[in-house]
Amino acid sequence: MSLLDVRDLSVRYGSHEALHDVSLSIDAGEIVTIVGPNGSGKTSLLRAIVGAVPISAGRIKRASGLILGYVPQRLHIDPTMPMTVARFLRLRRGATRDQIASSLSRAGVPDVTDRQMADLSGGQLQRVLLARALVSRPGLLLLDEPTQGLDQPGSAAFYRLIEEVRRDTGCAVLMISHELHVVMAASDRVICINGHVCCHGTPDVVSSAPEYRALFGSGTGGALALYRHDHDHAHGHSHHGHAHSDGATCNHAHPENEAAD
Ligand SMILES: Nc1ncnc2c1ncn2[C@@H]1O[C@H](COP(=O)(O)OP(=O)(O)OP(=O)(O)O)[C@@H](O)[C@H]1O
């Protein structure tokens, strides 16, 4: 069974329906990226999965015992409030000192334990947020635009780190990103949403899907092809045996993901 199975999900804010009839599943160990225009419901989808927003229809089924690790899009910390990284991480279900140290180390920031949160650089803060999500040893890591505000080398390094975390811990990753060319290269599958699932599949399939091109233009297709080439060499394009790795999968062809568009 999948780690996570979302069926016919709708999320509504008052009279505004942010998501409708969204279906997807995530298998163990795969990296899946959600792309979509601003306001297309990406954050709402992750927040629904972690239970932070109520769903108005559909269902979300987690594998028994699945632990989720969530890295939110933003963290508001009052810069005048003193808080060390260790203390911030201890807020997480009473994590032990050893757990904190190993999570920071895994996130690539072993030396920031006693630093003030407000003094961290953008890249360090993202890694501390990742470390916080890793403390509970999640089977599924959910990342909402984790490299927002980082420069290109910083975000490329962060995505490499995510691949390492996946390799070392075996966790699956579901993340949102706007950095199409980099992140799609690091993904086993891509799900393109715009209030509903427009299309999904491997990065090359999605980048050439008419639904994707209608949203992002065809210009990104070339960049994706370029990066996918690198990815093939580095990782053999392994898809960890999940059921969706091949073939064009668009709403119009697949009734289980039918969109009301
Ligand atoms: N708490 C809320 N109350 C009312 N409307 C909301 C709320 N959260 C999101 N929305 C609306 O739902 C829609 C989807 O928002 P969401 O943040 O999920 O999109 P997104 O794809 O993550 O956007 P972005 O790429 O800009 O971060 C938007 O129209 C947004 O204004």
Pocket test for ligand 1, best of 43, 55, 73, 194 (most atoms within 8 A of CB): 43
Handedness of CA 44, 46, 49, 53 (dihedral sign): negative
For ligand 1, is residue 15 a contact (CB within 6 Å)?
no
Contact 169, 163 (CB under 8 A): no
Q: Whose CA is nearest to atom 31 of ligand 1?
A: 39
Q: What is the pTM of this model?
A: 0.83
- One digit per residue, the tens of pLDDT, for the chain of length 261 reads 799 999 999 999 999 999 999 999 999 999 999 998 889 999 999 999 999 999 999 999 999 999 999 998 777 777 788 899 999 998 876 788 899 999 999 999 999 999 999 999 888 999 999 999 999 899 999 999 988 878 888 888 888 899 999 999 999 999 998 877 766 678 999 999 999 999 889 888 888 888 888 887 765 544 443 333 333 333 333 333 333 333 434 443 333 333 332
Class of the CATH domain delimited by 4-67+138-257:
alpha beta
Ligand 1 mean position to 116 CA, how many Å?
Answer: 31
ipTM of the complex: 0.98
For ligand 1, is residue 40 a contact (CB within 6 Å)?
yes
For ligand 1, is residue 16 a contact (CB within 6 Å)?
yes
Handedness of CA 242, 126, 228, 220 (dihedral sign): positive
Q: Residue ranges per domain, the chain? A: 4-67+138-257, 75-137
Ligand 1 mean position to 18 CA, how many Å?
Answer: 7
d(CA 29, CA 188): 10
Which run of H or of E encompasses 197?
strand 197-201
